[in-house]
Amino acid sequence: MHCLGNSKAEDQRNEDQAQREANKKIEKQLQKDKQVYRATHRLLLLGAGESGKSTTVKQMRILHVNGFNGDEKATKVQDIKNNLKEAIETIVATMSNLVPPVELANPENQFRVDYILRVMNVPDFDFPPEFYEHAKALWEDEGYQLTDCAQYFLDKIDVIKQADYVPSDQDLLRCGILTSGIFETKFQVNKVNFHMFDVGGRHDERRKWIQCFNDVTAIIFVVASSSYNRVIQEVNQTNRLQEAPNLFESIWNNRWLRTISVILFLNKQDLLAEKVLAGKLKIEDYFPEFARYTTPEDRQLRMVRLSRYIFSIMQLGSSQGLGYKEPHE
């Protein structure tokens, strides 16, 4: 009995020792995870719909995470074709509804307009060859020329229609789809770890999730600078550039995010320049006060003045002064 008791005691000691070693390993791993967590910069992307948040994430993947593999590119082909279809549909519908309507340079293209309008709401559209033929002919009709982001895919109709089409990195960046949910992208720059979170979805969905990110390093608030002539889909007839400062103010004053640094990113400067320099869509027609706006320090260059003005609109949503970083190439 005495020997049996010693055996049980020895077993208990061994079990206790094993448990202590296991606890040490767990504690060591927890400390390691905590160090990695503290050394990781977590960035939360916020902004109104179609501001370019998802494009920013895709750019980080291309630059810092080996881009997209063949399978991922293949899954985007249908989205790109849908972007192309939506672009020509929008142009056809808009030009037809203008008063007075925009006339075709070649009246013989009217049957192509009728075709696009007829297939506009066809579910599971299979993109037959005649679709590309009609879309290309209408896009090349001088009466239907339009300077917009839609131009990119419409200029690539002959490439996209090919059966073996593989999207380029630029195609993926230009492809826009409505996102919903939370998407995380991990990448490293100069041995510094970053986790970028893209919060998609409608306004009411975003409000529910924001409080879950009160420990992020910084918020990157993305504004589509070129959106001054567009309305937001989620809030009917609300100008996108007017909606942005409203959303920005709600983020700035949110009690869950009060101690977090905010980076204001004025995105789509290239599209803004295209619109303004084309002279067809004047920002004064949408924001009359721009005509009276003067750039600080007498900086009167046209695009600098415009960028500064958009920044001043966003600045109204913050209770403290925001710093301004000059854009660079």
Q: Which residues pair with 42 in a beta bridge?
A: 195
84 has binding-site annotation: no
Across the chain, what does the average pLDDT equal?
Answer: 80
pLDDT at residue 140, as a whole number: 87
Residues in the chain: 329
Number of domains in the chain: 2
Domain annotation covers residue 127: yes
The 10 Å Cβ neighbour count of residue 285 is 10
Q: How far apart, in whole angstroms, are the C-alpha atoms of residue 271 and residue 151?
A: 11
Token couple for 69: 């593999």
* Judgement on whether residues 212 and 251 belong to the same structural domain of the protein: yes
**CB-count burial class (<10 Å; 0-12, 13-18, 19+) for 261:** exposed
User: Is 120 part of a structural domain of the chain?
Assistant: yes
What would the two tokens of residue 76 be?
A: 């985007």
Highest mean pLDDT among 41-45, 103-107, 174-178, 204-208: 41-45
Look at residue 7 and tell me if it is in a domain: no
Neighbours of 135 (CB within 10 A): 26
Q: Is residue 27 situated within a structural domain? A: no
CATH number at residue 83: 1.10.400.10
| Same domain flag for 82 and 156 | yes
Annotated ligand binding at 51? The verdict is: yes
pLDDT tens string 21-80: 888 888 777 777 666 667 788 899 888 877 888 888 888 888 888 888 889 899 999 999
The answer to the question of whether 268 is labelled as a binding residue is yes
Q: What pTM did the predictor assign?
A: 0.70
Per-residue pLDDT tens digits for 253-290: 888 888 888 999 999 888 888 888 877 788 888 888 88
| DSSP codes joined into one string, 291-323 | GG---GGG---HHHHHHHHHHHHHHTT-SSPPP
Residue 24 resides in a domain: no
Model pLDDT, residue 297? 57
178 assigned ligand-binding residue: yes
Domain that holds residue 256: 41-67+179-315
259 and 124 inside one domain: no
114 assigned to a ligand binding site? no
End-of-domain residue from the set 155, 174, 193: 174
Q: Is the pLDDT of residue 329 over 50?
A: no
Query: Residue 179 annotated as binding?
Result: yes
Residues 160 and 308 in one domain: no
For residue 23, being part of any structural domain is answered with no
Specify the 3-state DSSP secondary structure of 96: helix
3 known ligand binder? no
Claim to verify: residue 137 and residue 260 sit in the same structural domain: no
Flag whether 275 is marked binding. Answer: no
Residues 299 and 188 in one domain: yes
Q: Could you tell me if 54 and 114 lie in one domain?
A: no
- 175 annotated ligand-binding residue: yes
Q: Is 143 annotated as a binding residue?
A: no
pLDDT per position as a tens digit, 104-129:
888 888 999 999 999 998 988 999 99
Which run of H or of E encompasses 137?
helix 129-140
> Is 53 known to sit in a ligand binding site?
yes
Do the annotations mark residue 52 as ligand-binding?
yes
Residue 24, annotated as binding a ligand: no
Mean pLDDT of 291-314: 73
Residue with the two structure tokens 């007829």 = 118
Q: Is residue 250 part of a domain?
A: yes
Core vs surface per residue 79-111: b (16+ CB within 10 A) or e = ebbbbbbebbbebbeebeeeeeebebeeeebee
The SS3 call for residue 286 is coil
Q: For the chain, what percent of residues have pLDDT higher than 70?
A: 79
